[in-house]
Structure 1
């Protein structure tokens, strides 16, 4: 039986604390066969003992809305167990890499939830093979939305990296121009001092052409 849940906000802290080491993208499971689920405690609050008893389910979807495909365990003491073996029903979905586990505390309320929701923790997405089922249009739309969200995160990261590289280049060019400007000013001051000693007024025109990143910058200093 499918159970749907819409999440208005998934805070980053709710994605941690129960660190699932299996299954992972590199450690998939097979439909119809025992799947070993292993987890440990990470360094983030709350502790596993605070989470207490939790249900474990197989889910798909996006950050906004998710669908539970199968209850793998209705209640497990996450602080004492650390491992669960469950057989994935192959009829709940098709072969793909968009499945994830969700642990839901049976008693601990998420302090970051403004709606008083129970605390949730998620595994990374992993692959299930030998699956024989299909998804209805609603569930498939949620899966597609989850994929789109992953693509958006990757694209944003790439743009951020390029922007950071361009910013560094601009800073380097600005430093070069500033250094050249300082050299010209020093030369102009020296020329002015020489003119004063001889008792004459000297006009010194110092020009420097700098090629920085394909742009030519001309600096002219007039000293009277």
Structure 2
């Protein structure tokens, strides 16, 4: 069943969109079972990447006020977004269906929401498409998508920060997808490759532990 996972999310505040997503953006198509790149930079329009610091990163669907956690990318571990600007993860095809309603969410562990200090500062990619998917959205997720009056995606910048509270649910294998696999418990898709902006070194995230070493990126 779907259960409440976290109460964090918000209405959009583009003025604070300092973490600018360069991939994925609107129009991006990633494929289930294949690598999907996530890249970002500092657009210098709000708090710096250094201020945002360590962030968890995950794949979500839903709207601005209600969202569903689908797959961890750097979670519950984190990456320092000022030191690293690229990460690649393999999309678990069973976490959802073919749709253009997916997005990446960054949640800062070091910077608080300026209008709600008990909550973290959040940044989002634009909504993008996943194809080659084998899962099925349940009614809760479909309602989140259908009822969204606003989304966590921006226009040209590809990034929007969120500054008030809302509801986040977490997908379970029995409801949001047609077979077991929200990415957290599926051993085939728990890992992400994290690298510097030059792609020369990084960290392999596997399950609950970091394995540090030189890896080949992109």
Q: TM-score, normalised by structure 1?
A: 0.61
Deviation of the 1:7 alpha carbon: 4.7
**Structure 1 ranges of 4+ moved more than 2 A:** 1-11
Equivalent residue for 1:62? Answer: 63
Per-residue deviation at 1:4?
Answer: 4.0
Q: Which residue of 2 aligns with 1:76?
A: 79
Maintained 8 Å contact 1:7/1:65: no
Q: How many angstroms does 1:107 deviate by?
A: 2.1
Partner of 2:49: 48
Q: Comparing both structures, which one devotes a greater share of its residues to helix? A: 1
In structure 2, list runs of 5 or more residues that go unmatched.
Answer: 152-218
Q: Give the 3 Å change call, closer, same or farther, for CA 14–98 of structure 1 in structure 2.
A: farther
SS in 2 for 1:58: strand
What's the CA shift string for 1:81-128, capped at 9, x where partnerless?
100011111100000101011000112111122x52011001100000
Change in CA separation of 1:65 and 1:5 when aligned onto 2, cut-off 3 Å: farther
Give the structure, 1 or 2, with the largest relative contact order (CA under 8 Å, sep 6 or more): 2
- Kindly name which structure, 1 or 2, has the bigger radius of gyration based on alpha carbons: 1
**Which residue number corresponds to residue 133 of structure 2?**
131
Unaligned runs of 5+ in 1: 151-224
Q: What secondary structure does 2:28 align onto?
A: coil
Q: Spell out, residue by residue over 1:177-201, the C-alpha distance to the aligned partner (whole angstroms, 9 max, x if none).
A: xxxxxxxxxxxxxxxxxxxxxxxxx
Aligned residues: 148
Q: Which residue of 129, 140, 143 corresponds with 2:142?
A: 140
Higher strand share goes to which structure?
A: 2
Structure 1: distance between partners of 2:71 and 2:34: 14
Matched, 1:122 2:124: yes
In structure 2, C-alpha distance between the alignment counterparts of 1:89 and 1:73, rounded to whole Å: 14
Q: CA RMSD in A?
A: 2.2
